[in-house]
Every structure is written in structure tokens, then in C-alpha cells.
Structure 1
Amino acid sequence: MKDYVIIATFTFQHEYTVLKLLLDREGIDYFFENEITNSVLPFHTNLIAGINLKVHRRDQEKAEQIIRDFNTNSHLRIV
């Protein structure tokens, strides 16, 4: 996991549901750090510094572009 970098941080799981679909569709290697902890202890998200989206370094630029494109071209927003 040392080759993964944080590119975004979220407070709630619903904030990135669509993003998961977009990343999967593009074959990007990623995971959400603290996602399970947030499911079990939802009010502790701020204590654990949120839910971090981590992507492999080789996919970082592409994943960041997906977030930018989505925020620009959609009425929805990835926080």
C-alpha cells in the first residue's frame, strides 16, 4: 500500500458513491481508507480524519481528472 496516495477526503459514504462507479469503469486501482470504520462508528469520522480515497500513483492523474470532469460536467458534485 506504499504506492497509494490520498487524492480526496470525504466525511460520508454517500459523497463518493458515484465516484466509485467512475473509477471502476476506468479500471483505476483505489480503496477508501477508514470506510469500514465509518460504517460502524459514523459519528467518529472527524476523529479519524475522514474517509480517504487512495489511488495507485500510476493512476493518480487520471483519477484526479475524473473528479474534475465530473464536478464540471454534472449537476451532481463530488465533495
Structure 2
Amino acid sequence: MKNWQIICSFTYPHEAHQARIYLENSAIHCTLQDEMTVQVYGLYSNALGGVKLLVPEKDFEQARNLLVEGGYIQPNSAAEQALPVPQVVTTDNKHCPFCQSTNIAKRKDPNLLVVVLYFILGVFFPIFKSGYQCFDCEKQWKPISPKQAEKNRQGK
């Protein structure tokens, strides 16, 4: 398959066959690459780059124009339309309520009541209770729900 160029690739073999037949009706010889692999192992399509439609170098421009005309490919290729991907960085900083330090960690302590119920009932329950610990002031606290925080602000 010397002097052949990939004109486009398709995720599914039936899409590639439609484009191949469209080109062959216009007297442009073409062939498909990786068609059988994608038919047998459909999930390999992305790993292989899809089913590739190959045309001879001498017919490349004519085939490209026909595929654009037929709506199989966009007039501007993806390489010409390379756009930068915006990078958004979000952080959820949690602070110690006592000293406002960010040097905190989530902690898990065994819950004695759940351990006793586990042995009595023989049913598995989550054993650990979670909370937070500040490494700067050595204090520990439990997270509260938004409803509880609103009640605390109102003084009830």
C-alpha cells in the first residue's frame, strides 16, 4: 500500500463504507484500513484511530473535495482548527475553625457503639466516624451540615 494517504477515519466500519462507496462511484479507487479489527473488537476503534479511509496520493485533493461536498468531512480539518483548551483550577480550601490554618486532615476514629452492635447483631455497619484535625493547634472537630450551620448562626 505504497503511496496511499489517509484521508479521514471513522469510528464505525459502516460509516467508512458509505464514504468508500461514495468515492468509488466517482471513479476514485480507495480502501479501508483496520476495518476487520474494529468489526471484531469494537472497543479497539479509539485505540487504533478508527477505520481509516485510504486514497492514492494522486487522487487525494479530488477525494477530499468530494468528501467535503458529500458532508463526510468538514471543510477545515481539525489540524487547521486547533484551539487551546482552557484550564480551570478550582480548590476547596478548608480552614481550621479555631486558628484558621489550612494544615488540616480528615481523620477516622473507630466508633465503639457500632463495633458492639456488629458483634451482637452480626451485621456489618460502617465502623469509623469521621472528623477533622488541625496539625497546628491540635484541635479536632466534626463537620456540620448546612442546616445545622444556619441554626447555629441564628442562635437557636
> What range describes the TM-score normalised by the shorter chain of this pair?
0.7 to 0.9
1:50 deviates by: 1.1
1:25 aligned partner:
25
Partner of residue 14, structure 2: 14
| Structure 1 gap segments, 5+ residues each | 72-77
Which one is further off, 20-29 or 37-46?
20-29
Match of 1:56 in 2: 56
Cα separation, 2, equivalents of 1:70 and 1:3: 24
Question: Which residue of structure 2 lines up, in the alignment, with residue 2 of structure 1?
Answer: 2
CA–CA separation in structure 2 for the residues paired with 1:27 and 1:15: 19
- Calculate the TM-score normalised by the size of structure 2: 0.44
Cα deviation, residue 52, structure 1:
1.0
Identity of aligned residues (%): 27
Give the equivalent residue in structure 1 for 2:144.
none
Structure label with greater radius of gyration: 2
Q: CA deviation at 1:36?
A: 0.9
Shift of 1:19: 1.6
| 2:46 pairs with 1:46 | yes
Q: For residues 10-68 of structure 1, give each alpha carbon's deviation from its aligned partner in whole angstroms, at most 9, with x where no partner exists.
A: 11123233322211111212111101111111111111121111100111011101111
CA distance in 1: counterparts of 2:17 and 2:48, whole angstroms: 20
Higher helix residue share: 1
In the alignment, what sits opposite 2:101? none
Name the TM-score, length of structure 1 as normaliser. Answer: 0.81
**RMSD (Å) for aligned C-alpha atoms:** 1.4
Select between 18-27 and 46-55 the one with higher mean Cα deviation: 18-27
- Inter-partner Cα distance in structure 1 for 2:20 and 2:54: 12
